[in-house]
Amino acid sequence: MHRRLAIAISMLSTTCLAAPASAQSLLPLPQSIVRGAGSVTIADGATVSAVPDAARAAQVMIAHVRTTRGLTLRASAGAGRIRFERDATITGSEAYRVAVTRDGIRVLANTTAGFVNGAMTVAQLLSPDDKTGQPVRVPVMTIDDAPRFAWRGLMIDPARHFLPMPELRRIVDQMAAVKLNTLHLHLTDDQGWRFEVKRYPKLTELGAWRTPPSIGGPAPTTRVGGFYTQDELRALVAYAGERGVTIVPEVDLPGHATALVSAYPELGILGDRPPVGNRWGIEPYLFNPGPQGIAFVKEVLDELTDVFPGTYIHLGGDEALKDQWQRSPVVQAQIKALGLKDENALQSWMIDQFGAYLQSKGRRLIGWDEILEGGLPASASVMSWRGEAGAVAAANQGHDVVLSPGTPLYLDRVQSNLPTEVPGQNVVSSLADVYAYDPMPAGIPADRAHHVLGAQGNVWSEYLVTPAEVQFHIFPRAAAIAEITWSAKDKRDLNGFLPRVKRQADRWTTAGMDVADSAFAVDFTVPGTRGDALRAKKVPLTLSTQAGYGTIRYTTDGSAPTAKSRAYAKPLSLTPGVVVRAAAFDTQGLATAAVRDFDTSRGALLTRGNGDLMPCAGTPFGLRVPQTPDAPERDPAFNLNLFNTCAVYPAAPLDIAGSYTVDVVRLARNWALGHDQSKLREYYAVSPHGELLVQIGCTAAINAQKAGDPTAKPVAIGTFPLPDPASAPQRLSFTGTLPKMTGDQDMCFQFTSPLSDPYYTVARVQLAERR
């Protein structure tokens, strides 16, 4: 009987949560939804009333509903159809209740943040589908809700590529839509100082601007960059505050300081003035921790805390190679005078100075997990990015922590292996990967769990040049971060999340954001080798989506698939020459992503684009970079491994192909590799600017050498001298013939250009059939 009762209770709970379409569109998933009988209809012109401290939340809701539903709601001094009312019985700084009755909708809270959260839930209830301008029937229900974690965030990096202020506001708007409440702004780095400091004007006069790196040809002279004035940032703080979002500013020290030292060389170690950085990675320049430097940072903190009223100030602390400190007699004397063990202890001492100063101003210091090295000052909190170890160690020592591990919460990572991915780290962090992450590490015991403030996703912008590319990386994965930080872990379910995130993605798209459809897009795979398909004159083709959501439908006559097109049920077998077009459709017959195509013609099967190529053995493609480092518009993107300029056309059908054309693109070689510089593979060049070597059997030779056969070598079938990059075009093509060979073999494309020249990669390889 007890088991039956438990099942009945479970079914009742599921019924309460499985509300009609309007409730099923809520994201993040609320703590509790209790259904009632009947509904209320909200139409154009419906009135909204609010107590004074909920007035701004009501206006934000009205704006969102206008955008996502096309309904114009009117503020009213009287009792509105939608009413915001204070309820002192609701506890929790962000808690709220939404009560839907047949007479109207009430948003109840006891804090401004609670009203904002309730407002965003109502905005979602009023946009359950894409029927723009139509009245909405909202079922009677009561929603009681509060977040699991207090810190639910995103980090934006305008230091590498500057984001105009209107773009930051747009991101704040769409964070608020899913109850994300913390925007961490990475305001300084080697490539730019973005915060106006009135005592030190050169920080933005000089440090906010850089010249792009060279891709060959004339040296770039046009400066790129920008900065935010204090008044602009104060306005952003106010704008975000009205939407329940707190801004956490970051000034990164002691490393990532090239822009700072470029503006004020006396604040560096060597006294030289480097150019503001235009390379990605780890530069050697460090801030000087002497008395002048400490005084400088305190003055910056005075202005920073005057602009940003939030509790936390982020002072970085990451990736600070200590070589300059190690080589400085002055810094070494300081370490000795302070009785410190080493350079890591000096960084800890420095962080402690700033932490105490911030504490005296009623603020708290937070830094990346490297600040644990050398001992963690009592005043510091930790943001853990190198996995969870830093968070576990800090929490167990009694410090507050924010989880932000690179895997899976670095949102500058690509979301799939589809060719439509924009630049970023070429490591897949899918929507499902982010959703599966839990921000409470297993190594933190229950009595220390209160030290976990929450989690955030980081969007580093080395390769994200345009606002659209930043948005593409944020959305829809921001929805997964919202749910894993707001909703109870035991209520999360990927299958239930997918239709809700798809609806939220539609809202973001309606609001003008560039939203990735990677999780829902159809991908095509040819089982076996393409040579097998060409020989059999039948092309096997498998269709799939990353999320497995919706029904895949396809056409072979060139038309766009619809909800009535043929459903994909098993791998296809096609005569070469057919173009397959496919998309997945949800239960309402709506496409979940843009239509994708696959060409089965013999010429297409013999072609491999950059995304189809494989890395040479042991050298994964780690990056996906734009053709032009600072292109103002979206630029073609290319996969590469910056340590070894080698790519493989896998299983080339050499019994069929008689010639090849290689399209090559020249890219900037702008990486500061720090202590990893020695890992670069340099090949001996036999011409002034190196060569493109085309070889057969390269991967087999590499594997044989690893197995102990030093005599194994690939077969060279083509050598093409590379032109002088100072005068040659950025895109090049080379054509060669293939010897008559049997079967499928890997073709390797190796560049031997000097490390002082720009980087080359293969954009495309086209094989032509032997005649």
- 296 CB-near residues (< 8 Å, 6+ apart): 200, 264, 267
Residue indicated by tokens 């190679």: 321
665 bridge partner residues:
731, 761
Q: How far is CA 549 from the centre of its chain?
A: 22
653 within 8 A of 738, measured Cβ to Cβ: no
Q: Which amino acid does the sequence have at 266?
A: E
Q: Roughly what angle, to the nearest 10 degrees, separates helices 477-486 and 494-510?
A: 130
- 127 CB-near residues (< 8 Å, 6+ apart): 25, 64, 65, 68, 69, 136, 507
Tell me which residues are annotated as active site.
319
Q: How far is CA 732 from the centre of its chain?
A: 32
481 within 8 A of 184, measured Cβ to Cβ: no
DSSP, collapsed to helix, strand or coil, labels residue 296 as helix
- 726 CB-near residues (< 8 Å, 6+ apart): 216, 217
429 within 8 A of 460, measured Cβ to Cβ: no
* Ordered DSSP codes for 569-581: -S-EEE-TTPEEE
85 bridge partner residues:
108
107 within 8 A of 4, measured Cβ to Cβ: no
CA–CA distance, 494 with 487 (Å, rounded to integer): 13
DSSP, collapsed to helix, strand or coil, labels residue 226 as coil
HSE-CB at 507 with a 13 A cutoff on CA atoms is 31
Which of 305, 327, 190, 211 lies closest to 259 in space, CA to CA? 190
424 bridge partner residues:
624
Q: Can the peptide bond before residue 28 be classed as cis, meaning omega within 30 degrees of 0?
A: yes
Which of 617, 566, 672 lies closest to 257 in space, CA to CA? 672
* Cα-based distances in Å from 257 to 277, 316, 386, 486: 9, 11, 21, 35
Here the tokens at position 90 are 């609701």
696-708 residues labelled b (16+ CB within 10 A) or e (exposed): bbbbebbeeeeee
Which of 635, 624, 629 lies closest to 761 in space, CA to CA? 624
414 phi and psi angles, rounded to 5 deg: -65, 160
353 within 8 A of 367, measured Cβ to Cβ: no
Instruction: Tell me whether residue 427 is exposed, middle or buried, using C-beta atoms within 10 angstroms of its C-beta: 0 to 12, 13 to 18, 19 or more.
Output: middle
608 within 8 A of 764, measured Cβ to Cβ: yes
DSSP, collapsed to helix, strand or coil, labels residue 168 as helix
Which residue spans within 483-617 are E strands per DSSP? 522-525, 539-545, 551-555, 566-567, 572-574, 579-585, 596-599, 607-609, 614-615
CA–CA distance, 428 with 505 (Å, rounded to integer): 20
* Cα-based distances in Å from 264 to 131, 161, 202, 551, 605: 57, 22, 7, 60, 57
Here the tokens at position 154 are 């995103």
609 bridge partner residues:
764
Q: Which amino acid does the sequence have at 582?
A: A
456 within 8 A of 481, measured Cβ to Cβ: yes
* Cα-based distances in Å from 562 to 231, 586, 713: 50, 11, 52
691 bridge partner residues:
721
